[in-house]
Amino acid sequence: MANDKGRRRRFGAIRKLPSGRFQARYPGPDGVMRPAPETFETSGDADDWLAEKQTEIRRGDWRDPDAGTVNFRVYAEKWVEERELSVLTRDLYLYLLNDHILPTLGESDLDEITAPLVRAWRTERLRTTKAKTTIAKAYRLLKAIMETATDDELIKRNPCRIKGAGKEKAAERRIATVPQVDEIADHIGPRWRLMVYLGAYGPLRPEELAGLRRRDVDVQALTIKVRVAEPERTNGRRAPGDTKSDAGVRVVHLPGFLRSELRIHMELYAGKGPMGLVFLGERGGAFRRSTFGRKWRKARTLVDLPDGFRFYDLRHTGHTLSTRSGATLKDTMVRAGQSSEKAAMIYQHSDDDRQQEVAAGLDATVRKARQEAAAVPEPETAATAPEPSGTDLARDN
């Protein structure tokens, strides 16, 4: 029978407290004696608890009860700091933490973040914000952090177990017609019209357009060499670096109808010298995303485009037109700077000659669409339509 002085056992020890309840202690695998988190009404209850702890240790299921007391905020911030991330990915993770995760979970210890708490956090975020894709990203980040905590044996099991919570439902891709792309280019102004055309018929990513230098453009050969990407961070500063993937470094063959656009832009708006930026702001410096964004949104309101059409959707327009022009999926991947191991094994080779053929096909497709658009008569606005003017409505190609 246990007494006030305690009695030795094969595993652990039990002693009777002045209150009449019983306290159990056991040696962990590290040799440190640890007390039970609660006292027991009988010595038999204490003995049963010790038997459970002994079984956990023998099976390798034991976890240090003090490990989970690590503060989540401290652990999460260190988690981001220790990873080799691109500048933009680091910015994204810190944004998701500071705006969506830490306000609710930041003061909790790791072992206090349970599956019900995670479900409640996600429900609250979905209710208070319409950005469902952002919440999916935040959930994936939380799950990754807690998975590392599990590997570090700070918690026994990852509490992020909501099926499908980290999946983003991609919105249907929107495309613009050739006349719509021309209208946007006309409305956005001469300094930026080439950017619209290269976004659609390059098709170049915004960060690739930002990084273009004069040395990368060959007006005579109608090619652009994509070497780097210069995305803009949330603080407004650019982060020059590699393209999105190895396939991003490429030579883009442009369709013939862009020759005059390219020549005029390089003569009037591009920076001087081989390293001069192709796209500059009105004051002669690197353009800001916010400045171009305002001009893009204004131009977009003047064109009958699909709802929510973004500058990035111009790439999908280019993909679609290239495919209609006879390009294979591999041709399109090479042109757009996309890559994946699976695609590399499946799709056939697409060399420079083939890329020139794709550009020529794209040229023919756009020219035909422009001719068809010019041939359609304007809708009548009065009871009697005006006589045809005989004005050549076709664009000067």
pLDDT tens readout for residues 193-223: 999 999 999 889 899 999 999 999 999 999 9
According to the model, what pLDDT value does residue 56 have? 83
> Per-residue pLDDT for 68 more than 70?
no
According to the model, what pLDDT value does residue 1 have? 42
> Per-residue pLDDT for 383 more than 60?
no
State the chain's mean pLDDT as an integer.
84
Say whether pTM exceeds 0.85. no
Fold of 68-151: DNA polymerase; domain 1 (1.10.150)
Residue 365 or 389, more confident: 365
Specify whether the backbone of 347 is left (phi greater than 0), alpha (psi in -120 to 50) or beta: beta
The percentage of the chain sitting over the pLDDT mark of 70, rounded to a whole number, equals 85
Residue 118 or 237, more confident: 118
Q: What's the mean pLDDT in 294-301?
A: 93
Task: Write down the architecture of domain 178-375 according to CATH.
Answer: Orthogonal Bundle (1.10)
According to the model, what pLDDT value does residue 341 have? 43
Q: What's the mean pLDDT in 344-350?
A: 42
> Per-residue pLDDT for 9 more than 90?
no
Residue 288 or 357, more confident: 288
